[in-house]
């Protein structure tokens, strides 16, 4: 059954690719489009139904080991034995459901969004290919298979970012994503080697059961575990766009908007969170690694939120917001609250996909305009898009009772209860900034005065139903999705214990002791205070946005042009000059090294080969002189030689 | 005087030497071919003589085989000579040195 989930998208990709993209069937456009959409969306829908069926079975059987399916031995070499096997347990089932269902909605949305594109079949082929690799990543039951999926989603992401490759800038954005990811993949690969060195196996169940076994771990130096955890995290930093490898994600917005929603918000970028959760044993065994993870995560969340405050491209705001929210997820998995991280992953997949699709709907309606300075007042023209976008924005801002509120509060609460007070303070400020930049985006786009031209206004229209229905479904999920995992501390306020079904479900599959709050430590804030604090942070952000962008827009203008704060605004607008810093250090440095190695190649390597060739040529020139072309002379030489041989024979005979 | 094996060997040697001398000294391609033929027949003579001397038929069989080869060689060789003459208007072996290094 697990195979079916993985094979269906691959079959969809193969059919669309072979039949239409490679032109085996020549059809008129309209009917071709219809068949392509049916194959593309249908394969994902079937995969989603199969995974739902398996999920129900998993819950009914209540089997913590999950469903394992091994098909054949993939690599057998000495001690190394890797089977081509898949694992459907509590963690991967949640991921699979998100990938297939959100993926299906985005496929449906793409029918409307990509309707006028000339490479319609190619688009759906890539999208199905992405789902295939993502499922391999999530469902693989050993590290190499996970790595195959890991690289595969990188490939699909590259193909889709550079989908409109005739635009050089967009093609370059794809390459940037691929190259930056390569740095992270390098760390992941070394981590896999170290895991094999220590545990002698790459199978999840073997490795994790040994890593959870205290007698085995006595002989393993702690530094080794820290190294494995940190190298795995390097991989996660690349794929999940954390500081300092986040630079590819804003550029990845060059791809079609549904791609940004699916790959660069809902699924692929969360692969790092999944991987850290999967490898929980290594992180929980090394407090040093955990501290590094949570610190980088908090810094990334805050840093990206400050950039998101002043971006003017609707998709760039969402991209930095994604980086910031991924920071929240890593905070959670960094402190060992793996369920909280996974929970935020799920709710984020809902509302961030919703926001991206909403932005896509706006861009579609505005004839490919992405600058929010040229929008405003769109609420009248796009009623469904604006309402669903508002729900998404409020959910991510942490408005009480929406899904983002529950998942973010779970993370904030765990941060505080586990004693990361400074991190907690920064995270609260980041939550405030989140509400501020999200509502700023909403107000600038949908409220206030219209700032677009007459020509754009005439073409302005609400998107077709293939686009609005996914928006509505995702909006419903963004509202209700939080109730599967209401945080413990909220539950305890209302006297309900063990209310967090999601947490129990995830922890059942993690072979680590679940840490509870450190007992004996006096907490300055109690549950109520935490709740009030995070609600206030969210509401304050929303209020500030309203004040600056609706109530007193001129006030903001004064602040940003002010000498004291102006430079801060400029720095945020220019993304803290990180791209420039990278250009001047790494890229220029690398260019210098490339030039040196080019010279080395030209003079030393090529020089050696050329010298060798010229020596050989001289030698053969000399030898060819013996071929003087006179047949009679050859015969004479042969005869002379014969006589000499016969003479020697007779001489030795005696 | 009794004719012994030595006489045959001597004759064979002389024929071979004459053929060899012809190949080395003559420039006309046809005469070179004829000299080659002479060398082959010298070898054939040696085969037959030894075959008779040792009472073993193998030598004679070899001689027959080499006769057949010689016939083929002449056929091909003369055809080549004709063809060369058509193209180059000469069969002087010293002029024909296309493979000079």
The answer as to whether A131 is a domain residue is no
Does B88 contact chain A (CB < 8 Å)?
no
**Structural domain harbouring A439:** 286-483+531-573
**Candidate ranges A24-28, A245-249, A369-373; pick with highest mean pLDDT:** A245-249
With 60 as the cut, is the pLDDT of residue A518 above it? Answer: no
Cβ partners under 8 Å of residue A431, min gap 6: A398, A408, A412, A534, A537, A538, A541
Task: Identify whether residues A432 and A470 lie together within a single domain.
Answer: yes
pTM of the shown model? 0.79
pLDDT at A498: 64
Q: Which helix (H) or strand (E) holds A73?
A: strand A67-77
The answer as to whether A170 is a domain residue is no
Question: What does the domain layout of chain B look like in residue ranges?
Answer: 5-88
Provide the CATH topology of domain B5-88: Helix Hairpins (1.10.287)
Q: Nearest by CB to B100, from A623, A629, A632: name it.
A: A629
Task: Identify whether residues A628 and A546 lie together within a single domain.
Answer: no
pLDDT at A563: 67
pLDDT at A608: 92
pLDDT tens-digit series, residues A86-102? 998 889 999 999 999 99
Chain B contact set for A638 (CB, 8 A): none
A544 pairs with which residues across the strands? none
The answer as to whether A359 is a domain residue is yes
With 80 as the cut, is the pLDDT of residue A250 above it? Answer: yes
Task: Identify whether residues A561 and A588 lie together within a single domain.
Answer: no
The answer as to whether A202 is a domain residue is no
**What is the rounded CA–CA span in Å between residue B36 and residue B78?**
13
pLDDT at A520: 47
Task: Identify whether residues A454 and A336 lie together within a single domain.
Answer: yes
With 50 as the cut, is the pLDDT of residue A232 above it? Answer: yes
Q: Which helix (H) or strand (E) holds A491?
A: helix A488-493
A73 pairs with which residues across the strands? A83
Task: Identify whether residues A565 and A588 lie together within a single domain.
Answer: no
Task: Identify whether residues A567 and A588 lie together within a single domain.
Answer: no
Q: Give chain A's mean pLDDT.
A: 86
The average pLDDT across A141-146 equals 91
The answer as to whether A260 is a domain residue is no
Task: Identify whether residues A339 and A444 lie together within a single domain.
Answer: yes
pLDDT at A27: 60
The average pLDDT across A417-442 equals 89
pLDDT at B54: 92
Read off the pLDDT band of A522 (50, 70, 90): low
Does B79 contact chain A (CB < 8 Å)?
no
The average pLDDT across A501-523 equals 70
DSSP-assigned states of every residue in A610-642: HHHHHHHHHHHHHHHTT----HHHHHHHHHHHH
Task: Identify whether residues A391 and A467 lie together within a single domain.
Answer: yes
The answer as to whether A411 is a domain residue is yes
Task: Identify whether residues A563 and A636 lie together within a single domain.
Answer: no
Task: Identify whether residues A367 and A401 lie together within a single domain.
Answer: yes
pLDDT at A19: 79
pLDDT tens-digit series, residues A565-594? 777 777 777 777 888 888 888 888 888 999
From the candidates B16, B20, B88, which should be mutated to test the interface with A, based on the most A CB atoms within 10 A?
B20
The average pLDDT across A620-632 equals 85
Task: Identify whether residues A549 and A594 lie together within a single domain.
Answer: no
* Contact (CB<8Å) A631/B98: no
The answer as to whether A231 is a domain residue is no
The answer as to whether A144 is a domain residue is no
Task: Identify whether residues A472 and A589 lie together within a single domain.
Answer: no
Domains of chain A: total: 2
Could you tell me if A273 and A345 are in contact, meaning their C-beta atoms sit under 8 angstroms apart? Answer: yes
Q: Nearest by CB to A636, from B24, B32, B97: name it.
A: B24
The average pLDDT across A399-425 equals 86
The list of chain B residues with pLDDT below 70 reads 101
Does B27 contact chain A (CB < 8 Å)?
yes
């Amino acid at each position: 059954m697990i195979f079916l989930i993985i094979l269906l998208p691959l079959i969809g990709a193969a059919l669309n690719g072979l039949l239409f993209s490679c032109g085996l069937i020549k059809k008129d456009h309209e009917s071709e489009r219809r068949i392509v959409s049916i194959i593309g969306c249908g394969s994902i829908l079937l995969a989603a139904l199969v995974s739902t069926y398996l999920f129900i079975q998993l819950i009914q059987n209540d089997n913590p080991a999950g469903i394992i399916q091994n098909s054949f031995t993939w690599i057998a070499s000495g001690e190394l034995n890797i089977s081509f096997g898949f694992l459907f347990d509590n963690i991967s089932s949640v991921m699979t459901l998100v990938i297939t269902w959100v993926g299906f909605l985005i496929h449906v949305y793409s029918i409307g969004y990509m309707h006028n594109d000339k490479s319609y079949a190619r688009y759906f082929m890539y999208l199905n290919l992405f789902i295939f690799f993502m499922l391999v990543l999530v469902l693989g039951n050993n590290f190499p298979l996970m790595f195959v999926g890991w690289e595969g989603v990188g490939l699909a992401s590259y193909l889709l970012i550079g989908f409109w490759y005739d635009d050089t800038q967009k093609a370059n954005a794809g390459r940037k994503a691929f190259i930056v990811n390569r740095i992270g993949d390098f760390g992941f690969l070394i981590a896999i080697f170290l895991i094999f060195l220590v545990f002698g196996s790459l199978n999840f169940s073997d490795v994790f059961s040994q890593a959870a076994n205290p007698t085995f771990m006595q002989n393993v130096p702690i530094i080794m575990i820290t190294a494995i955890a940190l190298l795995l995290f390097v991989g996660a930093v690349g794929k999940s766009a954390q500081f300092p490898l986040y630079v590819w994600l804003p550029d990845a917005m060059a791809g079609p908007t549904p791609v940004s929603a699916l790959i660069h918000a809902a699924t692929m970028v969360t692969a790092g969170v999944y991987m850290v959760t999967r490898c929980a044993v290594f992180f929980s065994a090394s407090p040093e690694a955990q501290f590094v993870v949570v610190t980088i995560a908090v810094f990334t969340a805050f840093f990206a939120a400050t950039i998101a405050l002043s971006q003017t491209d609707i998709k760039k705001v969402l991209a930095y917001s994604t980086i910031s929210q991924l920071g929240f997820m890593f905070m959670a998995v960094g402190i060992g609250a793996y369920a909280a991280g996974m929970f935020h992953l799920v709710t984020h997949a809902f509302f961030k996909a919703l926001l991206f699709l909403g932005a896509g709907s706006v861009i579609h309606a505005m004839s490919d305009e992405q600058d929010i300075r040229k929008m405003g007042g769109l609420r009248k023209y796009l009623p469904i898009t604006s309402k669903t976008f508002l729900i998404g924005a409020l959910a991510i801002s942490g408005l009480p009772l929406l899904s983002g509120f529950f998942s973010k509060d779970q993370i904030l609460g765990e941060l505080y209860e586990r004693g990361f007070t400074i991190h907690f303070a920064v995270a609260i400020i980041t939550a405030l900034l989140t509400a501020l930049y999200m509502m700023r985006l909403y107000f600038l786009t949908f409220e206030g005065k219209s700032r677009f031209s007459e020509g754009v206004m005439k073409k302005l229209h609400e998107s077709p139903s293939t686009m609005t229905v996914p928006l509505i479904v995702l909006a419903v999920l963004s509202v209700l999705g939080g109730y599967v995992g209401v945080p413990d501390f909220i539950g305890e306020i209302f006297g309900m214990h063990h209310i967090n079904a999601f947490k129990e479900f995830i922890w059942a599959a993690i072979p680590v002791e679940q840490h509870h709050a450190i007992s004996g430590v006096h907490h300055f804030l109690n549950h109520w205070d935490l709740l009030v604090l995070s609600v206030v942070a969210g509401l304050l952000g929303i209020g500030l946005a309203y004040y600056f962008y609706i109530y007193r827009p001129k006030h903001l203008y004064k602040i940003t042009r002010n000498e004291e704060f102006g430079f801060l605004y400029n720095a945020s607008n220019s993304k803290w000059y990180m791209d420039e810093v990278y250009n001047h250090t790494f890229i220029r440095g690398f260019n210098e090294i490339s030039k040196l190695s080019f010279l080395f190649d030209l003079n030393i390597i090529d020089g050696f080969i050329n010298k060798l060739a010229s020596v050989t040529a001289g030698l053969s020139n000399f030898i060819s002189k013996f071929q003087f072309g006179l047949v009679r002379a050859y015969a004479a030489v042969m005869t002379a030689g014969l006589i000499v041989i016969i003479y020697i024979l007779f001489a030795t005979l005696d | 005087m009794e004719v012994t094996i030595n006489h045959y060997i001597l004759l064979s040697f002389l024929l071979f030497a004459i053929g060899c001398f012809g190949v080395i000294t003559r420039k006309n391609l046809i005469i070179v071919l004829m000299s080659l033929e002479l060398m082959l027949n010298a070898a054939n003579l040696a085969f037959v003589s030894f075959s008779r001397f040792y009472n073993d038929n193998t030598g004679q069989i070899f001689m027959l085989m080499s006769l057949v080869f010689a016939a083929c060689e002449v056929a091909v060789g003369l055809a080549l000579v004709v063809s060369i003459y058509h193209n180059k208007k000469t069969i002087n072996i010293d002029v024909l040195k296309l493979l000079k290094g």
